Amino acid sequence: MRQSIATLPTRLLPVIAASACMFAMLLCPALAHADKIFVTVSPGVVTVSAAGWPSFFGTVDHVPKGIAVDPSGNVFASDYASGYIYKFTPDGVRSTFGDAGYHSYPESLALDGLGNLYAACSKKSHSFGNVSKFSPSGHRSTFANWLDYPDAVACDSANNVYVSVSGAILKITPDGSQSVFANVGAAGLAFDWAGNLYTSGGNTIRRITPDGTSSVWSVSPTLDRGKGMAFDSAGYLYVADWGNYGLEKFSPTGQALGPFAPRRLSHPQSVAIFTPEPGTLTLLALGALGILGRLRRDFRVRGVRHRGVRGT
């Protein structure tokens, strides 16, 4: 006959609770290490495991530079030399997504919330450049032009585009209006989950609040020529350490945690992090934790009542 949790013998509840706890602990690493880190290196894209070890993901033919990942896990990587932007499916199948145009060299990439891809591009033999916009289908248009040495690019939650130029960061609204957001140079840009913008340069990471106030967030003695960067779902920041051939990791409070990946990455340029939607393992782990909570609650209630009866 089927028994509910409420009618199970009290003596069995600790055993069931312990079993549910072990089940949850086995599955919960899927929650802690679900993020997937992608880095552009020579000659392509690598993934970096939770333990910091790289593995090859896909080829970029000449000079890999920018990288971005969409909510479905598709990876976009730019080839600075050819101007092509490649798209990789989650299992690594490559196709050509678009090109940056004549004599345009895509330095970095960013995706907005609508699926549009932005590429900060320099121009051959000129100090100026532009930001190209690609629709989700790959159609290219010029989003901003005549920019002074554009380098890093990022998008906020309102689909505004931020691009680092010579000595400043520009904010470009979806309708193309430009303004100076901060008088700070940057080799890399990344937003945290609270909407603060972070910049990399040398061994210093700066934080810029939504109102444009800039301050030093962290200085790392082991970071040399920090480039592109990205936050994971737990708030840790990963920075491409171009000078030391690796990744540098920072805590959510700005503590420099030192090298994350072994210094074996060939000229790392940019970082993108994919956080998948909760999958089967995540839901099972959460379910196990829920069962554990219910068992613990029922055990406490029934245990108190049982002792009370015996004490009378």
Long-range contacts of 185-188 (CB under 8 A, 24+ apart): 186/151, 186/152, 187/151, 187/152, 187/225, 187/226, 187/227, 187/228, 188/108, 188/152, 188/226, 188/227, 188/228, 188/229, 188/239, 188/240, 188/270
Residue 285 has pLDDT above 70, yes or no: no
User: Among 273, 241, 123, which residue's Cα sits nearest to residue 249?
Assistant: 241
For residues 9 and 134, state if they share a domain: no
DSSP β-bridge partners for residue 216 = 206
For residues 294 and 220, state if they share a domain: no
Parent domain of 299: 5-27+280-311
Q: What percent of the chain has pLDDT over 90?
A: 71
Q: In 3-state terms, what secondary structure has residue 28?
A: coil
For residues 39 and 184, state if they share a domain: yes
Given a contact cutoff of 8 angstroms between Cβ atoms, the answer to whether 127 and 148 are in contact is yes
For residues 112 and 14, state if they share a domain: no
Q: What is the pLDDT of residue 279?
A: 53
Instruction: Name the token pair of 213.
Output: 């106030």
Q: What is the pLDDT of residue 296?
A: 45
Q: What is the pLDDT of residue 261?
A: 77
User: Among 147, 258, 164, which residue's Cα sits nearest to residue 206?
Assistant: 164
Q: What is the pLDDT of residue 11?
A: 52
We report the CATH number of the domain holding residue 206 as 2.120.10.30
For residues 200 and 284, state if they share a domain: no
Residue 286 has pLDDT above 80, yes or no: no
- Measure the CA–CA gap between 133 and 152, rounded to whole angstroms: 14
- Measure the CA–CA gap between 94 and 101, rounded to whole angstroms: 20
Q: What is the pLDDT of residue 264?
A: 83
Q: Phi/psi of residue 173, each to 5°?
A: -75, 165
For residues 143 and 19, state if they share a domain: no
CA of 280: how far to CAs of 85, 89, 274, in Å?
33, 21, 17
Q: What is the pLDDT of residue 250?
A: 98
For residues 146 and 166, state if they share a domain: yes
Burial class (CB in 10 A: 0-12, 13-18, 19+), 179: exposed
Q: How many domains, the chain?
A: 2
Mean per-residue pLDDT of the chain? 84
Tell me: the pLDDT tens digits for 52-105?
A: 999 999 999 999 999 999 999 999 999 999 999 999 999 999 999 999 988 899
For residues 209 and 285, state if they share a domain: no
For residues 116 and 88, state if they share a domain: yes
For residues 123 and 50, state if they share a domain: yes
Rg (CA), the chain: 24
Tell me: the pLDDT tens digits for 240-261?
A: 999 999 999 999 999 999 999 7
Band (49; pLDDT cuts 50, 70, 90): very high
For residues 300 and 251, state if they share a domain: no
Peptide bond preceding 43: is omega within 30 degrees of 0, i.e. cis?
yes
Band (292; pLDDT cuts 50, 70, 90): very low
For residues 18 and 147, state if they share a domain: no
